[in-house]
């Protein structure tokens, strides 16, 4: 997957990984960069610095918002070569997380990928080519201490990526799942000493470089933190031992988590 002269959509482009992807992709001279987020001011500032970029403010947590994004891109650019489903939120909390909070996480972290595929796949299949990059997080391969909704939603996002790759690979559709651990962003601000940064918190720019390398090789799993692959292998090789290790890690970091985490309280975007 070469980015030169391609039409690329990035959701969650106002901050963190999405913003870094926009600047990194721009170095490879794509034809169009469509930047999507609910933060219009930040999008406009980024687009002003990238000649090929256009800001589209929309709510990725609704099917209407995703459909609008895809339709506008197709109307203005004619095609979508790469759709980067990067928007996501983290809601701290366990089984007592409210239905409203869980639904918000589910819509943005899971449904948005289904809606994007529903809207973008027909034109991709007609052309016989298209690429989806889904930010699934290492939590999708492992788990997320302190957040049931994030862990479940990222496992589901990874499952969507797998299904798209298996079902439509023979039709020219490529898929990559981006699965980093902690990355510098608004979501992880102030969490350096917690479990989020146990293996180091990467700058978003480093992750963006890894994405470009992974897309070039058309790798399904893009792992900016290389140790995630070993953790995933450990999990598969001895599930019981892996669970024991995660339980130990939970006990180790329990005192550092906000008091209301297990009762379902805090949102990070």
CB count within 10 Å of CB 104 equals 16
Strands 90-91 and 267-268: antiparallel
DSSP 136: -
Q: For residues 188 and 183, what is the distance between their CA atoms, to the nearest angstrom? A: 7
Q: Based on the residue annotation, tell me whether 231 is a catalytic residue of this protein.
A: no
4 burial via Cβ count (<10 Å: 0-12, 13-18, 19+): exposed
Contact between residue 9 and residue 36 where contact means Cβ atoms under 8 Å apart: yes
The number of beta carbons lying within 10 Å of the beta carbon of residue 149 is 25
* Alpha carbon separation from 90 to 125, 145, 150, 158, 239 (Å, rounded): 33, 11, 6, 16, 25
Cβ atoms < 10 Å from Cβ of 38: 16
Classify the phi-psi angles of 64: left when phi > 0, otherwise alpha if psi is within -120 to 50, otherwise beta. Answer: alpha
| Dist. CA 152–CA 204, nearest whole Å | 24
Question: Which of 23, 131, 150, 231 is an active site residue?
Answer: 150
| Helix, strand or coil, per DSSP, at residue 157 | helix
SS3 of residue 182 by DSSP: coil
Sign of CA dihedral 165, 224, 144, 117: negative
What is the set of active-site residues? 150
């Amino acid at each position: 997957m070469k980015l030169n002269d391609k039409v690329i959509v990035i959701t969650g482009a106002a901050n963190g990984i999405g913003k870094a992807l926009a600047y990194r992709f721009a170095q490879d001279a794509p034809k169009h960069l469509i930047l999507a987020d609910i933060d219009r001011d930040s999008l406009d500032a980024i687009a002003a610095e990238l000649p090929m970029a256009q800001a589209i403010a929309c709510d990725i947590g609704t099917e209407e918002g995703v459909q609008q994004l895809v339709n506008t891109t197709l109307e203005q650019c004619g095609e979508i070569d790469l759709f980067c489903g990067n928007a996501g939120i983290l809601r701290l909390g366990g089984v007592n997380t409210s239905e409203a909070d869980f639904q918000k996480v589910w819509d943005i972290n899971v449904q948005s990928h289904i809606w994007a595929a529903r809207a973008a796949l027909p034109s991709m299949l007609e052309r016989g080519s298209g690429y989806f990059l889904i930010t699934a997080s290492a939590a999708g391969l492992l788990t997320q201490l302190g957040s049931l909704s994030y862990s479940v939603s990222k496992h589901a996002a990874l499952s969507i990526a797998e299904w798209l790759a298996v079902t439509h690979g023979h039709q020219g559709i490529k898929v990559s799942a981006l699965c980093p651990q902690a990355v510098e962003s608004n979501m992880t601000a102030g969490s350096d000493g917690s479990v989020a940064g146990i293996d180091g918190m990467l700058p978003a720019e480093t992750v963006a470089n890894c994405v470009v390398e992974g897309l070039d090789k058309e790798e399904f799993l893009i792992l900016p933190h290389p140790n995630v692959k070993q953790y995933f292998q450990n999990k598969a090789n001895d599930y019981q031992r892996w669970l024991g290790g995660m339980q130990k890690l939970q006990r180790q970091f329990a005192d550092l988590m906000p008091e209301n985490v297990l009762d379902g309280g805090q949102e990070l975007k």
